[in-house]
A and B are shown apart, each in its own frame.
Chain A
Amino acid sequence: MSDLIQVCNLCKTYADFTLDDISFSVEPGMVVGLIGSNGAGKTTTLKLILGLINADKGSASVLGQPSDATTTGAFKEKVGVVFDSCSFPASMRVMDIGKLGAVAYGNWDKPYFSQLCESFGLALSKKVGELSRGMGMKLSLAFALAHHPQLLILDEATAGLDPLAREDVLEMLRDFMSDQTRGILMSSHITSDLDKIADQVICIDNGKIIFDVAQDQINDIAGIAHLRSLEVDDVVAWLKSTEGSSSVYMLKQGYETLALIPDRIAFAQKFPDVVVERATIESYMTLVLKGGNR
C-alpha cells in the first residue's frame, strides 16, 4: 500500500525563517510524531502538507494526491484535522457542527459523532463560545474522527486537555489505529503522549530535520547515562569508537553529565557501574538539541 503522506524536499522561506529540505513519509499503520521547539517549523510543515501554503521547492502528497493551494479537496474527504485550538466560530452550536459535518463529508457518521460528544461530555445545544479550551479541543477531535478518516493530522491536539482527558484521547487514537490502513501525523509538545502512541518520531529544529527515528529506537534501545566527571572521557571515547555513534550528545547538569547512549544494553555491559536509564522522547530530544555534539 502506498504512503498516506509523502513529503519530498519541502522548502519554504519567510523573512526570518526557512524550512529547509524536509522529507519524510507516513506509512499506513503508523503514528508519526513531529516534535521540536516553538517556531521550529512543525506547523509550517503541516500547513504545506495540507496545501494551506505553497512550497517554494519540493512537493507533498496526501493519499496519493498532490496537496497545494490548487487542490480540489477530494482527498480531504479521508483526512481529519485538528489544530491547536478549536477553530469553529463561537456562534455555532455543537449540534450545528454535527450537521455541518454531515453536509461536508460523504462518510459522516452522525451516531458516532453523537457518541463521541456524549463520551466527551459535550452538550449538543452548547455554543462553541461557551466551551472551555479543553472542551473545544474535544469537539475538534470528535469532528475529525466522525467521518472515519484514513488519515489524521493533529497539530498540538492534546494541548489544553487535562491528563485524564488526554489519556481518553490517546485511547481513542489507539482504537483509530486498530485499522492498519490508517495513519496519524501528530505534532506535539507533550512528548509523553508520543511516548505512548508514536511509531516514528521526527524532530525539527530551525527548519531542518534533526532526527527521524523509530520510537522503539528511543524508548527500548537508547538510554541516558548519568556520568561523573571522571567517566566522561572514557564514555566519549567508547561512544566514538562504537559503530554508528559518530555523534556524541552530552549535557552538563549540576554535578553530573548526561550522555545520550544509542544502545543502553551494550553500554551497561561496557560500563556496569554507570547509571543508565531508559530514554524518553523528551530526554532524547533535549540531549540532541541542547547537548553539544562532541
Chain B
Amino acid sequence: MSQTTVVTAANEPSIWGGGRSPYNVSYGKMMTWFFLLSDALTFGAFLIAYGTTRFFSAVWPDANQVFKAFPFLGEHEVPLLFVSLMTFILIMSSVTMVLAVHAGHYGDKKNVAKWLLWTIIGGICFLSCQAWEWTHLHGECGALWGAFTDVNTPVEEYRHFFGHKSLAFVDAHPLVAMQSSHNFFNYFFTITGFHGGHVTSGVIFNILILVNTVNGVYERRGHYEMVEKIGLYWHFVDLVWVFVFTCFYLL
C-alpha cells in the first residue's frame, strides 16, 4: 500500500486512508452481513422457483385447505392457526435474541445468558412445531418429496388440498391437479426444510455462545460481539420465515 495519506483541508486523514474502519463495522460483522446476503439470494432463488411453478400451473393447492390442522384438535377447520403460532414463536425468539444483544452492549453477563436461554427455548419450540407439521402432512396426507407421482392414485387422496373454486377443474383434470400437488409439496418440504436447517444450526450456535457467555469468555474478551453476529444470523432466519409464511400460507 502507498504510504501517502490523503489529507483534507482540515488536516484530517481520509476515512478510507487506513487505520480505522470507515463504516465502524468489524470484519466479522461485515462478513456476517455478506454471508446473509448470499443466503438471502439462495432463499430468494428457492421462493422464485416456487412462484414460477405456481404461476404456470393451471390449478394450485389452497393453503387454507392444506394447513388447517392443529395438534390435539383433530381435523378441525382451523386454517392458518398453527402456522400463526409458529410465526409468533419465531418473532418472540427474535425479541429475546435482540434483548440478549442489548444486554451484551452493556456487558451484562447474567442478562445475556438469560435471554439466550429463552431464544434457544423458542427455537426448539419452533422446530418441534415444524416436526409436528411435517409428521402430520406425511402421516395423514401422504405428502413428502416425490409423493403424488403415480397416475393410478385415486383423486380423493389429493382432491382435499384444493379450494372450492378449483374443485370442478380438479375433477375434470385430475392428473394436472396431482402434478400440482406433487410440485407444491416438493417445494414446501425443500424450502421449509432448508429454513428448518437454518433454525437448527442457529439453535446450535446459540447453545455455543450461551456456554461461552456462562464461562466468561466474552467477559474476558471485553465485548459480546459474537452474540451480535449470531444475533444477526438468528434474525435473518426469522426474516426468511416472514417470506416463507407469505409465500406458502398467505398468497
Specify whether A and B are partners: no
Interface, chain A (partner B; CB < 8 A)? none
Residues of B within 8 A of A (CB): none
